[in-house]
Amino acid sequence: MQKRRGISPVIATVIIVAVTIAVAIAVAFWMTGIVGLFTGFEQLQITSIYDDTNGIYVTVQNTGTSTATITDIFVNGLPSTQVGLQVELQNIQGNVQGDLATGGITFPAGSSATLHITLNNPPFTVRPGVSLEIKLHTAGGKDYPKLIVLQAYRTGG
């Protein structure tokens, strides 16, 4: 009669370690997927920017998965309070609401609106041919800049 023998302890240890590593990798991928489902992110896109004699129009869309709040708008690096910036919401799609003076303009995920911007007594020249950098700053700390060369808008200064 032949004597039966089991596998050696070294091979058994290698198999156990390999299975443990495979299970750990599978759990890590699964956890990454779960975290991705519950973690939202903000992502604003400036889909158009133009001007006319009444002001500058910036169309903004939130393509992220969570609400984004614009807390300030910078023009040529200066905050809204230093350039006398006023904003009026137009062409609202979704529940976009708020005001810069009262905590910010909120854009829920998937929403969009046009910001009609006027400048009152900015410390720089605003007339056709001048380039302005418009930068939207959010509560999440992100900045969304866009450059415009004015075609028609001018201020009294």
In a domain, 17, yes or no: no
Domain count, the chain: 1
pLDDT at position 35? 65
Indicate the pLDDT class of residue 1, thresholds 50, 70 and 90.
low
Taking CA atoms, 104 is separated from 21, 73, 75, 152, in Å, by 48, 10, 16, 28
In a domain, 91, yes or no: yes
In a domain, 18, yes or no: no
| d(C-alpha 154, C-alpha 52), whole Å | 9
Structure pTM? 0.75
| Residue 58, domain extent | 44-149
Per-residue pLDDT of 120-133, as tens digits, reads: 989 999 999 999 99
